[in-house]
Amino acid sequence: MAELEVEGKTVEEAIKEGLEKLGLPKDKVKIKILNEGTSGLFGLMGSKPARGLLVADGEGQKSGGADMGLAVSKAKTTVTELLKHMGMAFDSVEAAETDGAVNCVIKGPDGSLIIGKNGQTLEAMEHITNLIVNRSSDTRVKINLDTEDYRLHQEQRVSALALKAADQVRSSGKIFRFEPMSAKERRMVHIALKDAPGIETYSEGEGSFRRVAVKPKK
């Protein structure tokens, strides 16, 4: 069972932050409001942040009763058809269940094209595959796409940047803000720094402008 205490200017902001850090949808988490927060005088003096406790049990972190065999089959078929429609050359699509999610690995000569600039094509394919596979409640499960070990290299790169940012914050005592990132990369930063001494992370902004900030821990 995973528990996470979060805070934000509003209850909604605190919950959104916690779900992002856990990497789970709202219906897979039990939420307890610890403090609804106050805006203070004129929204400035005496304000207190909203606080909440998010609890994800073992079932919530896994597949939620999905037919994993069907999910694996649908994911493989969906990715294969997407690649064909995109005109991408590939040798195979391997799909398997791991820790309640379906991991698809694409192998072939067009790996760099499938990844795209800053991983944008791979991210788009992953998003579309999740939408298609999860239209049925029988296969409601997270789908991850990878090729040429891009995800491993991405995690290593983001983690290195996160640790460097943490050192800078501890040294300067000032907040460090990353450039806007995808939800997957923001979660990588949160995970890389969750146990880092003297600092804490949070997200700010909306949509494509959402980013992670690192600040000194009070």
Whether 60 has a pLDDT exceeding 50, the answer reads no
Q: What pLDDT does 44 receive?
A: 47
CATH number for the domain that contains residue 75: 3.30.300.20
> What confidence tens digit (pLDDT) does each residue in 145-176 have?
999 999 999 999 999 999 999 999 999 999 99
The DSSP secondary structure of the chain, one letter per residue, reads -EEEEEEESSHHHHHHHHHHHHT--GGGSEEEEEE--B--BTTTBT-B-EEEEEEE-HHHHTTTT--HHHHHHHHHHHHHHHHHHHT---SEEEEEEETTEEEEEEESTTHHHHH-GGGHHHHHHHHHHHHHHTTSGGG---EEEEETTHHHHHHHHHHHHHHHHHHHHHHH-S-EEPPP--HHHHHHHHHHHTT-TTEEEEEES-GGG-EEEEEE--
Of 148, 165, 190, the last residue of a domain is 148
CATH number for the domain that contains residue 214: 3.30.1370.50
Q: Looking at residues 200-215, what average pLDDT do you find?
A: 90
Whether 103 has a pLDDT exceeding 50, the answer reads yes
Residues 113 and 57 reside in one and the same domain? no
Of 43, 61, 79, the last residue of a domain is 61
Residues 48 and 88 reside in one and the same domain? no
Residues 182 and 218 reside in one and the same domain? yes
Residues 121 and 157 reside in one and the same domain? no
Structural domain that includes position 143: 68-148
Residues 82 and 24 reside in one and the same domain? no
Residues 93 and 54 reside in one and the same domain? no
Residues 144 and 161 reside in one and the same domain? no
Residues 218 and 155 reside in one and the same domain? yes
The number of domains in the chain is 3
Of 32, 61, 90, the last residue of a domain is 61
Q: What pLDDT does 19 receive?
A: 79
> What confidence tens digit (pLDDT) does each residue in 8-48 have?
888 888 888 877 777 777 777 888 787 777 665 445 445 67
Residues 72 and 140 reside in one and the same domain? yes
